[in-house]
Amino acid sequence: MPRSETLAKYPKVSVVIPALNSISTIQAAINSVVNQTYDILEIIVVDNGSTDGTFELLDSLKEKIKVLKCEVPGAGPARNMGVAKASGEIIAFLDSDDLWHPQKINLQIKAHFQESSANLISGGFSRFIGGSGKVVGTSIVSNDDDEVVQILNSGQMPAALSTWLIAKDTFTLLGGFNPDYVFAQDLELILRAHTQGVRVKVLREIICDYRLFSGSETNQSYIKQYLTGIYVQQSKKNGDSQSALNDFLQSEERFGKRNFRKALAGKHFRHFLVAYTASHYLHYFVAFLHLTLSIFLDPRSVCRKFCRQSKFVNRKYL
């Protein structure tokens, strides 16, 4: 799938942000777009059924953003709606609780024209704890383009969705996010894109901050997200249909299953990071419990994660 040759040297960029009960984080996310050093054409925020006042807050920000309402549940349909209404030649995605670095779009636009065969450009990101703001690690997943291809061929995710930059015509040709997947939609799309010849480039610069806090949607749904990712990897290799996803999840969501134990360990490790950075003796006790549980469930992978985090270098598959 070749890169569009109709793009201007400085293409117009539309930003799509899905939002669900994001009243505490959405304004900071929007501000990180407004503060870009590259001029942004439009910010499209798609509310996905919020009940906490998010939609009313968005409505008050209409001078800065376009506000849409998606009745179909799921971030995938919300993002697809945002792209369909976008006027820009380039689409950038941002989750409502993440933050962009000011040079994010500028760096990617330069890379887009230096690497003319790239269809999707991403980059590194840091993990920080919502509330305290403490950074607990960084992720730069590849040294070069060949390693990105190896990661994709192995069924892994080389790029966090909040760092994606993709031409609208490429996204449209791919058919957008598959609404059948509530979780791991980004993994399913990027693997599907790779099989159709889309060139993925990952910048080594840290261009985004990924928020961790105990109440986040990602943290609460970590197990299903992890297991869906396993299913996506297997289905791409085996040619299985997504219609069997629910059967797979029901089969895997048992304590004795290896994948479930790894997912549960990962969730407890996230809770450990959040509690440990709270700097309060009661939270330290909670952190110790979560770390103990995560090690009990999957000592090998948790120890690897802990070593990466403690060294403040987290170069790994997401």
What does the domain layout of the chain look like in residue ranges?
A: 13-212, 217-310
Question: What homologous superfamily does CATH list for 13-212?
Answer: Spore Coat Polysaccharide Biosynthesis Protein SpsA; Chain A (3.90.550.10)
Which residues fall within 8 angstroms of residue 130, CB to CB, at 6 or more apart?
25, 97, 211, 212, 213, 216
What's the pLDDT at 141? 65
Contact, 206 vs 140, CB < 8 A?
A: yes
What's the pLDDT at 317? 42
How many angstroms separate the most distant Cα atoms in the chain?
58
What's the pLDDT at 86? 97
What's the pLDDT at 303? 79
What's the pLDDT at 2? 41
Contact, 176 vs 108, CB < 8 A?
A: no
Distance between CA atoms of 256 and 160, rounded to whole angstroms? 30
Contact, 108 vs 207, CB < 8 A?
A: yes
> In terms of Cα–Cα distance, which of 180, 211, 230, 216 is closest to 77?
180
What is the pairing mode between strands 120-129 and 99-100?
A: unpaired
Distance between CA atoms of 8 and 10, rounded to whole angstroms? 5
What's the pLDDT at 316? 47
SS3 123: strand
> And the tokens for 214?
């105990």
In the chain, count H helices and then E strands.
13, 9
Distance between CA atoms of 134 and 164, rounded to whole angstroms? 24
Q: At what angle do helices 258-276 and 299-310 cross, to 10 degrees?
A: 30
What's the pLDDT at 152? 85
What's the pLDDT at 59? 87
What is the pairing mode between strands 13-19 and 42-47?
A: parallel
Contact, 168 vs 14, CB < 8 A?
A: yes
> In terms of Cα–Cα distance, which of 293, 157, 175, 292 is closest to 236?
157
Contact, 101 vs 211, CB < 8 A?
A: no
pLDDT in tens, the chain (318 residues): 444 455 567 889 999 999 999 998 999 999 999 999 999 999 999 999 899 999 999 988 888 899 999 989 889 999 999 999 999 999 999 999 899 999 999 999 988 776 656 789 998 887 766 666 677 666 766 767 788 888 888 788 888 899 999 999 999 999 999 988 888 899 999 999 988 999 888 888 889 988 876 555 455 577 888 888 888 887 776 665 555 877 787 787 776 688 888 888 888 887 887 777 776 667 788 888 888 988 888 888 877 776 665 554 444 444
> In terms of Cα–Cα distance, which of 308, 267, 272, 304 is closest to 288?
272
What's the pLDDT at 1? 45
